[in-house]
Chains A and B, each alone.
Chain A
């Protein structure tokens, strides 16, 4: 990182955190792709929150006369193999995923971020050993790690949230640690040490403000990968349990009737893809706005 080009501390924005958030959002909305991302994302959030109030049908309503009926005036996206309205289920199908990942992402960023900053600051033997442990965990595919825990402890919010938060916090440790290494040798950290500040004070007052932007961008990316993981698990049959509507599960169920009822897979596919694309576009624009390199990584 170029020391001359970056301010030693994040400049204090006037008006507190809310004004800063508005400023960042306005910056994101300035680029076409960022604006598209924000629109997609807000639409999805809006639908997820309000859909139960205005969906046309009951998502559990089974109707044997309407099994796999084609899209029409009554059912805009047709019905599924139990005669349930596809549109209703698609509108409701993201709630579970958004709830789980919406809680798990901040938790992952917080624990991964703090751990990474801590080890980046202290260094030494413990740091070396811990990083080997982190590398080893990262060398196992996500699906294996998640499935072992899910099969043991069962499915449900109380398993998904901690599991996702734990495993997706691990790569964040690396990011936070690397970002800390960029800052820790700089004069103001040395000065704080010389003043005799404790470790926690240095982390809170000197390191966290400088690592925050990198963590935000990383968190946004991890959010989309968590969604991907959650819906993949659902698709494989390890996710939410029926009759709760979920896009991954809906696609898995509708796949069997794809040859004569393709609307059943298309509706949830469009919903899930647009949400993930929306998050990614927003994350990209956020990275540009905050001036953070969005390094190429494979989703782990």
Chain B
């Protein structure tokens, strides 16, 4: 099994290499570069040449790629397009804020989803199931900006409990984001919970119908003992991957939600950097997001391998 994990890790590394190439190559292929974007209409002649020389854009592409990657590996992402601020510092604060937002959403959403999913499956087609399953479909299908706007409309405008817009600056201590952060957390957690709930539900139902579950019922194993000993361990294993996929989705969904709530995180920074054509920042953000995505999926696969007894080879068992 160790070999499988090592193989998976290597594949992950290859993926990250590919992503960095795509990000770099994509920006390379697009018309214009950081200098034409920055100088806009004045981008010609001496001014353009100077700018390119200053940013090192006159060097060959592979050299710049190598420089970018080796600096990024050391945590140095260069400066923003105006050259005034270090990207590392800018991104650091916002990364922390986004991690707070997504972390809280996961802490709230994943246990809730597991619980509700199991409940829905065990009481299949009863009122509880119908209620939460339909709510889940609703939360899954409507766009995030609609559910987020609805939350603001209900909790900020009509009930007046929490402000709907976050005015805390990006570099404020994390605790200052409470309680305004609760609404974006709820908006994120809603969609996430819905996705995981649906998977858990269908996975538990499938396991209940399996031969060994039927066998356990026929043998007269007490119901709850069967649920906890036989059903849940088998049913929850495949959900690890869905949780990983959902976390990866969070990174994209967070862009819209951060914009709706004016939350100073990576997502809004990405929108801003793209509007400002700040290519170094966009590249950095894309790399970070891709790293998280690949990392989370890697973790999920390794966890699944570790948790699945069928993948434990003979050698590991005897060791």
Contacts and interface: CB of A to CB of B under 8 A. Distances in A.
Name the residue among A143, A151, A251, A280 with the largest chain B CB count within 10 angstroms: A143
Nearest to B11: A132
A140 B289 contact: yes
B271 interface: yes
A41 B226 CA distance: 43
A37 to B, nearest CB: 11
A277 B19 contact: no
B145 A248 contact: yes
B246 A151 contact: no
A158 to B, nearest CB: 16
Contacts of B245: 296-298
11 contacts: A141-B251, A143-B256, A144-B285, A144-B286, A224-B141, A235-B143, A236-B271, A259-B157, A272-B146, A273-B143, A298-B195
B142 interface: yes
Interface in A256-300: 258-259, 262, 265, 269, 272-273, 276-277, 280, 296-300
Contacts of A272: 142-143, 146
A136 interface: yes
Interface stretch (B60-68, B93-101, B209-217, B274-282): B274-282
Interface of B: 11, 14-15, 18-19, 21-23, 26-27, 30-32, 137-138, 140-146, 149-150, 152-153, 157, 195, 198-199, 202, 242, 245-246, 248-249, 251-252, 255-256, 259, 270-271, 274-275, 277, 282, 285-286, 289-290, 293-294, 297
Contact of A139 (B26, B144, B259, B293): B293
A133 interface: yes
Contacts of B256: 143, 232, 235-236
A148 B26 contact: yes
A152 interface: yes
A9 B38 CA distance: 58
A153 B245 CA distance: 30
A84 B26 CA distance: 41
Contacts of B246: 298
B149 A142 contact: no
Contact of B271 (A147, A273, A277, A280): A147
Contacts of B145: 231-232, 235, 248, 251-252
Given A140-B19, A152-B32, A298-B246, A236 B259 contact: yes
Contacts of B142: 272-273, 276-277
Given A133-B18, A135-B18, A136-B18, 10 more contacts: A137-B22, A140-B23, A141-B289, A144-B282, A224-B141, A255-B152, A258-B149, A269-B146, A276-B142, A296-B199
Contacts of B252: 141-144, 300
Contact of A228 (B14, B31, B143): B143
Which 10 A-B residue pairs are closest in the complex by CB-CB distance?
A141-B252, A298-B249, A136-B18, A139-B293, A298-B245, A296-B199, A136-B19, A273-B142, A147-B274, A235-B145
A139 B290 contact: yes
Nearest to B245: A298
Contacts of A298: 195, 242, 245-246, 248-249
A255 B149 contact: yes
A265 B149 contact: yes
A258 B152 CA distance: 9
B31 A152 contact: yes
A151 B19 contact: no
Contacts, number: 127
Q: Report whether over half of chain B's contact residues are helix, strand or loop; otherwise say mixed.
A: helix
Interface in A151-183: 151-152
Contact of B22 (A136, A231, A232): A136
Nearest to B251: A141
B143 A151 contact: no
B141 A277 contact: yes
Contacts of B270: 143-144, 147
Contact of B290 (A140, A236, A251): A140
Contact of A232 (B18, B143, B248, B286): B143
Given A144-B289, A151-B277, A258-B149, A300 B249 contact: yes
B143 A152 contact: no
Interface in A4-52: none
A41 B18 CA distance: 40
Contacts of A276: 141-143
A274 to B, nearest CB: 9
A139 B149 contact: no
Contact of A140 (B14, B271, B286): B286
A248 B149 CA distance: 12
A298 B26 CA distance: 24
